[in-house]
Amino acid sequence: MISFESDYNNGAHEKVLQRLIDTNATRTITYGGDEFCESAREKIKLACQTPEANVFFLAGGTQTNATVIDSMLHTYEGVIAVSSAHINTHEAGAVEFTEHKIINIREHEYGKMAAEDLEKYLFDFMHDGNNAHCAYPGMVYITFPSEYGTLYTAAELDSIYRICQHYHLPLYVDGARLGYALASPACDFDLPFLAHHCDVFYIGGTKVGALCGEAVVFTHNNAHPHFFSIQKQHGALLAKGRVLGVQFDALFTDNLYFDIAQNAITTAMQMRQIFLDKGYGLYVESPTNQQFPVMHNSEVERLEADILFTRWAQTDDEHTVCRFVTSWATTQQDIDTLRNIVG
């Protein structure tokens, strides 16, 4: 059986594993104060062209979102996100568990927030005479790519960020699949552009070549002065912080992170063509590693005998939207096997 169920169903890239082996006998300072974390921080700041950035390493995406958002909000504040945002749909209420409301605004286009919708919400809120009775908007959250694999353009990101700056709200970008977004030919900006158009984002490692780990980048020395302690409160501070630092040090050596991300895009576009050749419709035009074919339920059941994938949604009683995901580890043999099974 082949698996296209997720992009974190493998271990780690061999160069990451080798780096962990090579450094295993080295004794280091604990809690991220080691030489490997420091080297990774410097490489990330160089790649982002943000020498003034603060960089922290956490183990996973949900943990990262809950910790970062909690660190940036006052007790009476919430975070603005679209209805399909990852923090809203697939994190078991982790943000709200920290007692911060997720403030929903309209989803503009398959997981994306529109600048005009954000502007309208904020304008209306600020001119509402009863807003003191409401959760106050304290930051804005978007994902890149979105839950549907769609991308913001440079112009769209710039517009959202300008609105955030006008209202003095930090913009946070969830980059769990950041490598796959930036590797897509449809993406019209690079990592430094992203770093200069938000206040904090994270570079996903769990889904892009690491065993685990996310690198949080506060882009202009704007991390909470006690973020270390906030990490500790959230159970998000690894005693062996080197485990994360070593991995990101490897991923940001010789362009490895971006090179391996490209494999997911190449194989996803082959997958997309397989579905189109079979006559399946696509629920959304995704230029990244998540593809969403629409299939008759009988066909879904047939494919499930040999392939792991996700039933995403129902379009009607007889058809299902399915999600197939490639990754840095997807092989050409996987794609060829898929082609033979689909027929």
CATH number, residue 333: 3.90.1150.10
Which of 196, 231, 256 is where one domain is finished?
A: 256
Residue 304 shares a structural domain with residue 223: no
Amino acid identity of residue 51, one-letter, is P
Angle between helices 35-48 and 242-251 (to 10 degrees): 40
- The residues, ordered by sequence, that sit 6+ positions from 86 with a Cβ below 8 Å of its Cβ are 61, 65, 143, 147, 174, 176
Rounded mean pLDDT for each run of 10 residues along the chain, 343 residues in total: 95 98 97 97 98 98 97 98 92 93 92 97 96 96 97 98 98 98 98 98 98 98 98 97 98 98 98 96 97 97 97 95 98 97 91
Q: Can you give the pTM of this predicted structure?
A: 0.96
In whole angstroms, give the CA distance from residue 94 to residue 302: 36
Q: Give dist(CA 294, CA 261) in Å, integer.
A: 26
Examine the domain organization and report whether 264 and 151 are in the same domain.
Answer: no
Per-residue model confidence (pLDDT) at position 254: 97
In sequence order, what are the beta bridge partners of 314? 320
Pair 243, 283 in one domain: no
Find how far residue 89's CA is from the centre of its chain. Answer: 14
Which of 327, 263, 343, 334 is closest to 295 using CA atoms? 343
**pLDDT of amino acid 343:** 84
Q: State the CATH number of the domain containing residue 99.
A: 3.40.640.10
Cβ–Cβ under 8 Å, residues 177 and 146:
no
Looking at the fold, whether 30 and 60 belong to one and the same domain comes out as yes
Cα gap 54→219, rounded to integer Å:
7
Domain-terminating residue out of 203, 236, 256: 256
Residue 16 identity: V
Does residue 45 share a domain with residue 191? yes
* Residue 39, phi then psi, degrees to nearest 5: -65, -45
The pair phi, psi for residue 218, each rounded to 5°, is: -85, 115
Q: Do 146 and 45 belong to one domain?
A: yes
Domain that holds residue 160: 14-256
Of 232, 256, 280, which residue sits at a domain end? 256
CA distance 133 to 126: 12
pLDDT for residue 109: 84
**Number of structural domains in the chain:** 2
In this structure, the answer to whether residues 242 and 296 fall within a common structural domain is no
Instruction: Specify whether 205 is located in the same domain as 268.
Output: no
Residue 63 confidence (pLDDT): 97
Nearest to 64 by CA among 97, 94, 33: 94
Q: Are residues 53 and 126 in the same domain?
A: yes
Is there a single domain that holds both residue 247 and residue 263? no
Indicate if 300 and 283 belong to the same structural domain. Answer: yes
Q: Is residue 147 located within the same domain as residue 282? A: no
